[in-house]
């Protein structure tokens, strides 16, 4: 990959609830509780946080691909487990303020990290993404789904207001009015409608989804990673930043990229009528 070796490795997440491996510049993170449709567990969250921390600075990771095992992406919170505990957090010994702090930290270290990671992040949805699972998918830069996937906010159906940044990410992707409708009514969105709205970037057959999403991830991992880093920062700032501030940031990042070896190689490749070979520097 650009800027790193082509090493393949397995990352130890400390749990079977999530599996992480690196191959050809792509870190693939698989949510792995298929018997619960990959509903979140404490162990899964800790494994996701550790994986993203590794991806942030690892020189052999140029892109992150997040997916789910067993034909689902993620059902969000483990509602069955909540019911068994007498409600969300019912079995927790933590006081209210401590639980709020822990929730905030978990959200920033997962959905927040995926949104701000200085590398492209992709969610591959082989099936349903609901509640916090949908929120985490929306925090990624790109989303690809199988034709039989379903999206739903789901929170209202279990008496929740929503978490993991879903209201933030959805409002910016499709506008506040439609986001309010999907949150209030908790209707299921099929992939034809999801693609029309812009909630997903592409829809593939169930059989080809993983291959297609991995091809995109590999293409990004092999690309100009320095430029992608600044490109992503520019795009994120454009969501909330003042226009002049965004223009100034673009100018600084553009000039910096113009001094990289990747830019010089790409310019020469253009003249030579060949594909550039990026090194990530």
- Lowest-confidence pick of 1-10, 49-58, 231-240: 1-10
> pTM score, two decimals?
0.90
Identify whether the C-beta of residue 213 lies closer than 8 Å to the C-beta of residue 102: no
The tokens describing 224, both together, are 């100009």
How many CB atoms within 10 Å of residue 215? 12
Q: Using CA atoms in the order 43, 44, 45, 50, what is the torsion angle rounded to 10 degrees?
A: 90
- Answer yes or no: is pLDDT of 4 > 60: no
How many CB atoms within 10 Å of residue 180? 13
- Lowest-confidence pick of 166-175, 212-221, 234-243: 234-243
- Answer yes or no: is pLDDT of 235 > 80: yes
pLDDT digits (tens, 9 = 90+) for 159-169: 988 999 999 99
Output the CA–CA distances (angstroms, integers) from residue 46 to 52, 125, 271, in the order listed: 10, 21, 48
Which residues share a beta bridge with 66?
Answer: 29, 123
Instruction: Name the more confident of 7 and 76.
Output: 76
Domains defined along the chain, listed by start: 9-221 (3.90.226.10), 225-272 (1.10.12)
pLDDT digits (tens, 9 = 90+) for 98-127: 988 999 999 999 999 999 999 999 999 999
178 burial (CB, 10 Å; 0-12 / 13-18 / 19+) is middle
């Amino acid at each position: 990959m650009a800027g790193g070796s082509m090493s393949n490795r397995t990352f130890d997440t400390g749990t079977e609830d999530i599996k992480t491996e690196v191959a050809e510049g792509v870190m693939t993170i698989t949510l792995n509780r298929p018997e619960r449709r990959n509903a979140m567990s404490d162990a899964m969250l800790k494994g996701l946080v550790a994986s993203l921390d590794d991806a942030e600075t690892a020189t052999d990771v140029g892109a992150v691909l997040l997916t789910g095992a067993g034909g689902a992406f993620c059902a969000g919170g483990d509602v069955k487990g909540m019911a068994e505990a007498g409600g969300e957090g019912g079995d927790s010994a933590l006081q209210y303020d401590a639980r709020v702090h822990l929730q905030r930290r978990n959200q920033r270290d997962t959905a927040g990290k995926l949104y701000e990671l200085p590398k492209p992040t992709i969610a591959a949805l082989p099936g349903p993404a609901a509640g916090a699972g949908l929120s985490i998918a929306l925090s990624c830069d790109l989303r690809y789904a199988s034709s039989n996937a379903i999206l739903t906010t789901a929170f209202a159906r279990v008496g929740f207001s929503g978490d993991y940044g879903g209201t933030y990410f959805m409002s910016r992707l499709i506008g506040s009015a439609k986001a309010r409708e999907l949150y209030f009514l908790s209707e299921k969105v099929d992939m034809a409608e999801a693609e029309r709205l812009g909630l997903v970037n592409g829809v593939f057959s169930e059989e080809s989804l993983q291959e297609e999403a991995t091809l995109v991830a590999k293409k990004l991992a092999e690309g100009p990673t320095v430029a992608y880093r600044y490109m992503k920062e520019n795009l994120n700032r454009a969501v909330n930043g003042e226009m002049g501030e965004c223009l100034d940031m673009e100018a600084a990042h553009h000039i910096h990229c113009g001094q990289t070896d990747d830019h010089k190689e790409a310019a020469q490749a253009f003249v030579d009528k060949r594909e550039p070979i990026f090194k990530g520097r």
